[in-house]
Structure formats: C-alpha cells, structure tokens
Copies of this chain bind each other. A is one copy, B any other.
Amino acid sequence: MPTVIVEGPKIGVEEKRELVRRITAVITEVYGVPHVTVLIKENPPENVGIDGELLSDRRKG
C-alpha cells in the first residue's frame, strides 16, 4: 500500500514507464510512505461508455 489503479485507453510501454515513475513519485511524496503498486488497466474503446455512447462509436462520428 498504497495501490493505484489507472483505468485508461491503451498506451505504449514508454508511456507506461513514465506513468509508473511519476505516479509513484507523487504518491511517495504525498503519503510519505515507500511502497507503491501501480496497476495500469488498458480498456479497448468498445468497452468504454462516455455519456451513453461507446468510445469506439464516438470516434467514428
């Protein structure tokens, strides 16, 4: 603990590396604790609904 779960779209490994490095720095500084776990969840656009519409349909419009 703390554990951070990030629900977002797909990203590249370079972005994942940066995300984990920077999120961990923020958590460590704000909470003042050393151990941080980050779980990156990549959601395909047809599995995400924003205001009633699939993200995969929005992009077509």
Contact = CB atoms under 8 A, between A and B. Distances in A.
Interface of A: 1-9, 11, 13, 15-28, 30-31, 33-43, 46-57
Number of identical protomers: 6
Contacts of A47: 16, 39-42
Contact of A1 (B9, B11, B25, B56): B9
Nearest to A47: B40
A7 to B, nearest CB: 5
A2 B45 CA distance: 12
17 contacts: A2-B7, A3-B7, A3-B37, A4-B4, A4-B6, A5-B5, A7-B39, A9-B31, A15-B30, A15-B31, A16-B47, A19-B26, A21-B49, A21-B52, A22-B30, A39-B43, A40-B48
